[in-house]
Structure 1
């Protein structure tokens, strides 16, 4: 039997909301349907987050539904500022809802960085100019009949060879640097080659980093601890946080070598040398 309070909690304040959430949690799930204060707090949430919902093209009750999901969590009940926690979660949910509608996908998918990075789909007819005017796929010129096709083939082969040579040299330099940081040579080679393969497949360093960070199979195959694996990924691909984007920490070893930095310059980076040396596996390792 639920105890009736003579004075309902003032849920507009942080302390009052925390007390209400604790009481509803202790009373069980049915309390949210029968308690009159629960209905009042949801109406308050709908009004409170209505501007945020309209900003992202949503109905106010969609924001209230997101607030309801957060209110039932332990983090909201134990937070110093429950309304702050709820507001932050509702804002993230509204952004994900808006991106999901634009990308024509589920909200769960829209929360993933590698999915939300895409632009919204658009019809060809939505643009004022014809597709042939701006899309590079249609920017094709007829070959010059006076030119020798064999010369073009040789140029293409030369460019492919130069690209292959550059990539091979970059990988070998990276392996040499990691090995110099007291990493076992076989482990250094296997790890660097695996990272480069994923980078080539993913296309961008951030996408490759997110995929490799979750790659438990690679960690098990290389027999490398999670901390060492995380540090190696940040060292090779760069720190993913946008604040480091223009720094050496954000670029990573592979990028720095690609833009012309030398191994000697990397060896003078004391932070990088210390970080990789400390993270070097002391036992086990790839064999």
Structure 2
């Protein structure tokens, strides 16, 4: 009995550049024992072909060609490569991933095993101080710090509105703020309602800047307090301070409530000409023709 074989099938099995040929060669190398890769005459040709195939990929990631070949050799040892529909696709994917993490490892100055971990690869590559023309302290935010004076440190919301250790309680500060407004011709009921409303909003907001922005847009509160827009804006700036960063360390930036909590007295506030003038001019005059 004579058997015939299809020459095209035989040639495809011998040609390791195809999926079928590579699978047949890998099966032969796996079953050939430990020295199969050394003694098989086709194994050397396979590695030279892999070197040529992945040379551009290795160059892209600034690696030596044989580092990509080593990754391809490791992928060829896996059972999943032997059983894959397209073994070259599996090998190419493995080489690409290895090149990526090899490059990251060299940049991070760590092992490839560490570079494969997401919490390590998330870091940027280390830089030398001499790598940039500009000094590190000129552009890195970690060096943009300044020493705060004790008087510049703003207490948090809990200190502002209830700390027994504060130099003055929040209640006393509010009462003094009300008294200041009354001395400047603000109606007593309007002054008290306004200050209490601002203090309540400050407690909820947590910071003076947040409270200022919320109250500035609170048209409902302004209508309930029966205050013109001009008087409401001046009152907020006086009680909470000017929110602009340029005024942060000034009396205008701190505001009356914080200044009272920091130890200033009503007498000292009455010597602040700018504050007194702003509140006096903004004092509501309840006349029917005034614009709201």
Q: Please report the TM-score for the alignment, with normalisation by the length of structure 1.
A: 0.49
